[in-house]
Amino acid sequence: MCLTSLPWSFSGWRTRVRGKCPKWIFLSFFLLFSFLRAWEIRSFDVILIPQKDGSFLVKENILVDFGDEMHHGIYREIPTRIEEGGIKIDRRFKVLDVKKDNEKVPYRKWFHRGRLVVKIGDPHRLVSGLNLYQIFYKVRRGVDYFEDHDEIYWNVTGNEWRVPIRSASFKMPYPDGIKPFAVRCFTGRYGERNENCDIQQLENSLIVRSGYLPPLNGMTVAVGFKKGFFKKPGFLAGFFWFLGDNVLFFIPLFVFGFLFWKWKVGGRDPEESVVVRYEPPEGIGPAEAGVIIDERVDVRDISALLLDLARKGYLRILETFSEKFLFFEKREYLIEKLKNPDSSLKSYEVQMFWAIFARGDEVKLSELRKDTGFVSRMNGVRRSLYKYLVKEGYFPARPDNVRGIYRGIGVGIMVVSIAGFPFFQLLTDGGPFGFFKLLPFLLSGFLFMVFAPFMPRKTRKGARAHAEIAGFREFLKRVEEDRMRRMAEENPEVFYDYLPYALALGLEDRWAELFENIELPQPGWYVTYTAPGSFSTQGFLSSLGRSLSALNTAFTSTRSGGGGIGGGGFSGGGGGGGGGGAW
């Protein structure tokens, strides 16, 4: 009634509040704050008993005052996982007993998102007033080992209780009578370094007390011992603990091992000895040789294929000039069809032929660069060459497909990891160093991409062909000019016969240098822009170099595809901690 009678204007409201409405408002506030008066923890007392193996026994005595509120009991959450710089340390918790007022009480326990949850109380019974809840548990891997000391760094109460703690205490009997050399205590909210606590080092035990702790405040204790009492786990035990705690960081190692095994079993080529040979392997064309050597169809292989078709008499390359401007002329290269393919050509050679002459019997290289359909036709030639080599038994699968699969897996892992990272953080309570959990997946994806070029493999036949081609390549690298002069005298066409192979194997410059001073016959499949009868080797080689550069340009456009003692402590740090509530 009060709210519905309020006018829209502030001045009108100010007039109305002088009436009966304020009484109802004040009464409502009083009832609301009375209702919100929460239960509290009267005392939170912890006894911690260290063990020589680095574990310790913990007893928590939590005296709760529910007042007039009715609850089934309380629940306690204790973090089992500590994360430092992205490295996780999982402490092993084992609940030994749970009591209420020194008597057995129903309880449930489970682990959830790096926390031990203990829910105490009878779901069929409500309690009020003072109740003492006692939790006994064992903690393994509780001690932190440093170079100059060992340390128990324990969050006594936790910093997540949303009710006040009237008093807290921590008691620890000295292990074998060995006193700590340093003790520090921190209070406040998480990360604060207040020291509002009292430390008493008695003859046989240590007692630390704090006074009133507001909601979300806690007490943490750091106790330092000299080296010697606690037995540090051996390297092997520490390694397996680290492995269990940080499985994510070992994922790249497992991925690397898998990929290395996969490469060794299915990606490494059979070994064949390389012997220098003076002629190319029989039955293997220049483009095939280039692919078998590096397991990819690249621009050199396509250019070599074009030269080989010209050498076989199916087409001719002409150097011309066009677009005269002042005293300058622009060179142009014309590819002219001489005859149609016949049965002697292989499937990929036929496809290459028709990819060039799809629009007529003559084509300029400059026009090919502008022809959008030429891109898809040349990609078809690449696929055809790969398929031919697989069909002939040189590869068990297309190398480009194998590389694509591994690269696709790598990219997929990285994309899914980045896209799913926010959800992963929500599910795992990632914390401030959650980004480090993304790195193992990114590195795993990267490893797939690194291994991708090495995963295609050759068959035994392919390995033998590779050895023969490598032997011929060694010949092209090492042969001297005198020997080539003798070979040219025996076979004047040797330069043109081997030129496509030299181009496919990346040795065209070396091959041309050998013949700079050797007289060559003018080839019928290549016409330079010179006066009749003025053919020279140097002029031909210069023109050929320009045409190869133009070919590469035309074909390139079609390419596919520290501890609490040393000053680093704070409230909420160390093991233990967490919080709880009523239910």
From residue 184, give the alpha-carbon distance in Å to each of 160, 205, 319, 543.
21, 15, 89, 85
- pLDDT at residue 273, as a whole number: 75
Do both 8 and 53 map to the same domain?
no
Amino acid at 483: R
pLDDT band at 5 (very low <50, low <70, confident <90, very high): very low
Kindly report, residue by residue over 88-124, the tens digit of the pLDDT. 566 778 899 999 999 999 999 888 777 888 999 888 9
CATH number of the domain at 101, please.
Answer: 2.60.40.1730
Kindly report, residue by residue over 247-278, the tens digit of the pLDDT. 677 788 889 989 998 888 876 777 777 788 88
Ranking 35-39, 150-154, 383-387, 480-484 by mean pLDDT, the lowest is 35-39
- pLDDT at residue 30, as a whole number: 43
- pLDDT at residue 447, as a whole number: 93
Is 265 a member of any domain? no
For residue 153, which of 444, 464, 572 has the smallest C-alpha distance? 572
pLDDT at 231 over 60: yes
Q: Which residue has the higher pLDDT, 8 or 159?
A: 159
Kindly give the residue spans of alpha helices, DSSP state H, lying in 436-567. Answer: 438-451, 460-478, 481-490, 494-504, 508-514, 537-556
Radius of gyration of the CA atoms of the chain, in A: 41
Do both 48 and 30 map to the same domain?
no
pLDDT at 2 over 70: no
- CB environment 190-207: b (16+ within 10 A), e (fewer): bebeeeebeeeeeeeebe
The rounded percent of the chain whose pLDDT value lies above 90 is: 33
Which two tokens mark 98?
């749970």
Domain end, chosen from 236, 265, 298, is at: 236
Do both 214 and 178 map to the same domain?
yes
pLDDT band at 3 (very low <50, low <70, confident <90, very high): very low
Do both 190 and 332 map to the same domain?
no
- pLDDT at residue 328, as a whole number: 54
pLDDT band at 33 (very low <50, low <70, confident <90, very high): very low
Do both 423 and 358 map to the same domain?
no
Instruction: Find all residues with CB under 8 Å of 352, minimum gap 6, and list them.
Output: 302, 305, 306, 309, 381
Which two tokens mark 492?
């004047």
Mean pLDDT of the chain: 80
Mean pLDDT of 21-25: 50
Q: Which helix (H) or strand (E) holds 293?
A: helix 286-294
Instruction: Find all residues with CB under 8 Å of 103, minimum gap 6, and list them.
Output: none
Is 168 a member of any domain? yes
Quick one: 363 exposed, middle or buried, by C-beta within 10 A (0-12, 13-18, 19+)? buried
pLDDT band at 399 (very low <50, low <70, confident <90, very high): very high
From residue 146, give the alpha-carbon distance in Å to each of 236, 521, 572.
18, 82, 20
Kindly report, residue by residue over 272-329, the tens digit of the pLDDT. 777 888 889 999 999 999 999 999 998 889 989 999 999 999 999 888 876 555 455 6
- Alpha-carbon gap, residue 215 to 579, rounded angstroms: 10
pLDDT at 393 over 60: yes
Do both 200 and 75 map to the same domain?
yes
**Residue 559 contacts residue 140 (beta carbons within 8 Å):** no
The rounded percent of the chain whose pLDDT value lies above 70 is: 77
Quick one: 547 exposed, middle or buried, by C-beta within 10 A (0-12, 13-18, 19+)? buried
Do both 157 and 176 map to the same domain?
yes
pLDDT at 29 over 70: no
- pLDDT at residue 367, as a whole number: 81
Is 160 a member of any domain? yes
- pLDDT at residue 239, as a whole number: 60
- Alpha-carbon gap, residue 413 to 406, rounded angstroms: 11
Helix (H, G, I), strand (E, B) or coil at 307: helix
Instruction: Find all residues with CB under 8 Å of 21, minimum gap 6, and list them.
Output: 2, 5, 6
Instruction: Find all residues with CB under 8 Å of 264, minimum gap 6, and list them.
Output: none
pLDDT at 234 over 70: no
- Alpha-carbon gap, residue 426 to 579, rounded angstroms: 20
- pLDDT at residue 467, as a whole number: 92
Kindly report, residue by residue over 470-515, the tens digit of the pLDDT. 999 999 888 888 888 888 888 888 888 999 999 999 888 888 888 8
Domain end, chosen from 236, 268, 303, is at: 236
Number of independent structural domains in the chain: 4
Is 250 a member of any domain? no
- pLDDT at residue 37, as a whole number: 52
- pLDDT at residue 554, as a whole number: 64
Is 145 a member of any domain? yes
- Alpha-carbon gap, residue 63 to 61, rounded angstroms: 6
Do both 370 and 508 map to the same domain?
yes
- pLDDT at residue 71, as a whole number: 92
**Residue 154 contacts residue 48 (beta carbons within 8 Å):** yes
**Residue 182 contacts residue 224 (beta carbons within 8 Å):** yes
From residue 183, give the alpha-carbon distance in Å to each of 91, 148, 196.
22, 15, 14
- Alpha-carbon gap, residue 214 to 192, rounded angstroms: 13
- pLDDT at residue 575, as a whole number: 58
pLDDT at 519 over 90: no
- Residue 405 has φ and ψ, to the nearest 5°, of -65, -50
* Sole residue written with tokens 């001690």: 143
pLDDT band at 28 (very low <50, low <70, confident <90, very high): low
pLDDT band at 469 (very low <50, low <70, confident <90, very high): very high
Is 572 a member of any domain? no
Is the Cα dihedral 423, 427, 432, 435 positive or negative? Answer: negative
- Alpha-carbon gap, residue 10 to 24, rounded angstroms: 19
Question: Residue 351, Cα to own-chain centre: how many angstroms?
Answer: 41
Q: What predicted TM-score, i.e. pTM, was given to this entire model?
A: 0.59
For residue 165, the enclosing domain spans 40-236
Kindly report, residue by residue over 413-427, the tens digit of the pLDDT. 989 888 877 776 655
Is 84 a member of any domain? yes
pLDDT at 12 over 50: no
Do both 280 and 428 map to the same domain?
no
* Sole residue written with tokens 């969050």: 155
pLDDT at 236 over 70: no
Kindly report, residue by residue over 60-93, the tens digit of the pLDDT. 999 999 988 999 998 898 887 766 545 556 677 8
- pLDDT at residue 563, as a whole number: 55
Do both 429 and 376 map to the same domain?
no
* Sole residue written with tokens 């066409």: 493
pLDDT at 369 over 80: no
**Residue 413 contacts residue 444 (beta carbons within 8 Å):** yes
Is 242 a member of any domain? no
pLDDT at 213 over 80: yes
Do both 26 and 45 map to the same domain?
no
pLDDT at 220 over 60: yes
pLDDT at 211 over 70: yes
Instruction: Find all residues with CB under 8 Å of 534, minimum gap 6, and list them.
Output: none
- pLDDT at residue 10, as a whole number: 35
Helix H, strand E, coil C: the string for 331-347 is: EEEEEEECCCCCCCCCH
Quick one: 381 exposed, middle or buried, by C-beta within 10 A (0-12, 13-18, 19+)? buried
* Sole residue written with tokens 């003790």: 183
From residue 206, give the alpha-carbon distance in Å to each of 141, 175, 224, 464.
21, 11, 12, 78
- pLDDT at residue 193, as a whole number: 83
Do both 133 and 44 map to the same domain?
yes
pLDDT at 237 over 70: no
Ranking 73-87, 222-236, 446-460 by mean pLDDT, the lowest is 73-87
Q: Which residue has the higher pLDDT, 514 or 350?
A: 350
Mean pLDDT of 544-552: 70
Which two tokens mark 235?
């390297």
- pLDDT at residue 230, as a whole number: 81
- pLDDT at residue 7, as a whole number: 39
- Alpha-carbon gap, residue 82 to 136, rounded angstroms: 21
Ramachandran region, residue 143 (left: φ > 0; alpha: ψ -120 to 50; beta: rest) = beta
